[in-house]
Chain A
Amino acid sequence: MAAHSAVLSMSKIFNPFWGGRFGNTVKVFGTTLTSHRNRSSRNGDNIPPPAKYGGRHTVTLIPGDGIGPDLLNHVREVFRFSCVPVDFEVVHVNSADESEDDINNAIMAIRRNGVALKGNIETIHTMAPSVKSRNNLLRTNLDLYANVMHCQSLPAVQTRHKNIDIMIIRENTEGEYSSLEHESVPGVVECLKIITRTNSLRIADYAFKLAREKGRSRVTAVHKANIMKLGDGLFLQCCREVASGYPDITFDSMIVDNTTMQLVSKPQQFDVMVMPNLYGNVVSNVCAGLVGGPGLVPGANYGLNYAVFETATRNTGKSIAGKNIANPTAMLLAGCMMLDHLKLYDYATMIRNAILSTMNETRLHTADIGGQGTTSEVVQSIMRNIQSKGPLISER
């Protein structure tokens, strides 16, 4: 509690300074631009400084399966082209392997470097149930408790809804994803959904802090407490407790079925949403679909000491792997979020602007947003945009 109040009082000191200076530089993609700068300065004594030797950062790269390897190669290409001072330590995780050595190596590498960029690792359904989801193992071992996804309507993308600007904060480690199941009686499976007070308070606190930093006025908790009274009731109670400490932010709650229906008819009413794991999964996918699809939205997983960046909807994309039609936008934007986290803001802004200019050219849209461009064409165009802005670049 003392640490909690110490952090809060520090936030009062730092917030006006940072908020005033950088508040008006938030552009279309300036998502966690202000937030993580504030976070690291505020929790400066908690998060270790980024690993930076000789001015270059080392970041763990986990290619994953499906379209992951291709897209991450493109990210590396763009970074190399823009002379971004980041070196990637590549760790392969074989999803067909039953042993957990690969994923443990990856986790070790992330502990070492503090930051990672990953593609989705496939969970093969035909393997034994004792083989846990590798992505899940990574998130729980590193205690990446907050999954943040910022869904914004992009001007150049054709969607049915406009003016969407929703931040989704999803509890990332407990809830329905505890992988605790047992079959006491043959034919009857019990699956445990765990909700704890500490984790719920933690995620609610994160949500309100983020809302305050970004100048958001409303936080909505999504739950199903009319049925799961103890579980989601606890979550809701924790959110209300935390909300009482943020009188400038309106707090309300909505049941998950009503939320999804409202999202489909009137998504403009939502501002910041906080929720447990499974509802977060569904709601974030609905929002991703509303703004244009899984190829456009990046996602970030934050813990106290580590941060892992990936596409928001965590698609493996097996059916389009190796065909050069995947949309690289989500992965590239995830790379930009990573650069923000490493405090390399200029590089992040440069690449983001290049991506936005490329998006404006509809003939360069990939198949998932209704165009006919290929992945490599899009990446080439982004690199051309970077080149035309004039900073130092390496030879192509």
Chain B
Amino acid sequence: MTARSVQSLSGALKLLFNNRLTMPPPARYGGRHTVTLIPGDGIGPELSKHVCELFRFCCVPVDFEVVNVDSTKDSEDDINNAIMAIRRNGVALKGNIETNHNLPPSYKSRNNLLRTTLDLYANVMHCQSLPGVRSRQTNIDIIIIRENTEGEYSSLEHENVPGVVECLKIITRTKSLRIADYAFKTARAQGRRRVTAVHKANIMKLADGLFLDCCKEVASGYPEITFDSMIVDNTTMQLVSRPQQFDVMVMPNLYGNVVSNVCAGLVGGPGLVPGANYGTDYAVFETGTRNTGKSIANSNTANPTAMLLASCLLLDHLKLHAYASMLRRAILCTITETRLHTADLGGHGSTSEVVRSIMNAVQSTGPRTLGI
């Protein structure tokens, strides 16, 4: 894959190939890929089932290795098995694993463990306004790149004096440089013109100051891309009034959490946006806002779009671009038919109806499929 041939590719493909230059090739035996599937809790299992159903229907050459992680257990065996499976396969699709608040603080968040152990340092979420979805803001097209492994999510807390808790937020130079580099590479690969760093360096001068310095350093190597920075409170206010001004945003972990949820809310809710976690060797795909959805589990009302679009991102990562575009087209076609919205978008459709409609859309475009 020469540099010139990479340049001639378009948009998302460029992004993938840039990653693929350093990542090991996908595990592919007999032309079929093996992908780890972690159903998770809440709506995770049913949505994962729909993904499997859809893939089977479209004859996608992907086999899922299902690894269940029990969130009620105290031992870390389950999540370690899952991590081992992902190391084996290189790619995973996961639902959110619930973190029960009533368990003792020594019980770490399973999702967090997965991200830090596999060093999935970049969380990428692409928020785009969809034409068929009613939302208060239109023409939003923001890529949010969030540092995924350090920051406030280090789970380092202690109580030296009873009643006084100290939480450590760690910012390191290496990781900040890495995420900034990823952000600028992505911006360049996708032809984006502006990267905004979100921070709170007026208060956390050393920590966010370091992050900002690293971003500025990396920015100097990409002269065609404008770099600016904005304080997180101003950013959230601007997002609510004028989100069209943002292009690519890069930020540490906690601000990334808040900003990505605000953007997801702006384009139509948690049921629409897929998210991807990239590391140097592994990639894990999930819904953008990582909701467990306990209250709507097993009621056939969850919106499958986010999980299905995440699986399309997965297919792109595995270089099965034809299948990915086919599925994506079918999903977007279903969304723009307004009467087939699920409850979270203001419609009355059920999950299975939406999936059925997607299958119909796929079948009508003519590829080889199994019977419905």
Contact = CB atoms under 8 A, between A and B. Distances in A.
A368 to B, nearest CB: 9
Contact of A187 (B164, B172, B205): B172
Contacts of A264: 240, 262, 265-266
Contacts of A136: 203
B174 interface: yes
Contact of A230 (B101, B159, B201, B210): B159
A229 B168 CA distance: 12
B101 A195 contact: no
A24 B158 CA distance: 48
Contact of A198 (B136, B163, B174): B163
B99 interface: yes
Contacts of B207: 181, 189-191
Question: Majority SS of interface residues in chain B?
Answer: mixed
Question: Majority SS of interface residues in chain A?
Answer: mixed
Given A190-B169, A228-B167, A177 B203 contact: yes
Contacts of A176: 169, 200, 203-204
Contacts of A181: 204-207
A234 B234 contact: no
B264 interface: yes
B152 A227 contact: yes
Interface stretch (B43-51, B253-261, B318-326, B330-338): B253-261
Interface size class of B (residues with CB under 8 A): 35 or more
Contacts of A286: 236-237, 239-240, 262
Contacts of A195: 164-165, 167
B163 A231 contact: no
Nearest to B242: A289
B174 A289 contact: no
Most chain B CB within 10 A, of A179, A181, A189, A265, is at: A189
Given A181-B206, A192-B167, A228 B233 contact: no
7 contacts: A125-B202, A188-B173, A224-B257, A260-B261, A285-B233, A285-B236, A289-B237
Interface of A: 123, 125, 129, 133, 136, 160-161, 176-177, 179, 181-183, 186-198, 224-231, 233-234, 236, 256-258, 260-265, 278, 281-282, 284-286, 288-290, 293-294, 313, 315
Interface of B: 99, 101, 105, 109, 112, 136-137, 152-153, 155, 157-159, 162-174, 200-207, 209-210, 212, 232-234, 236-241, 254, 257-258, 260-262, 264-266, 269-270, 289, 291
Given A193-B152, A194-B167, A234-B163, 4 more contacts: A177-B203, A181-B207, A188-B170, A193-B167
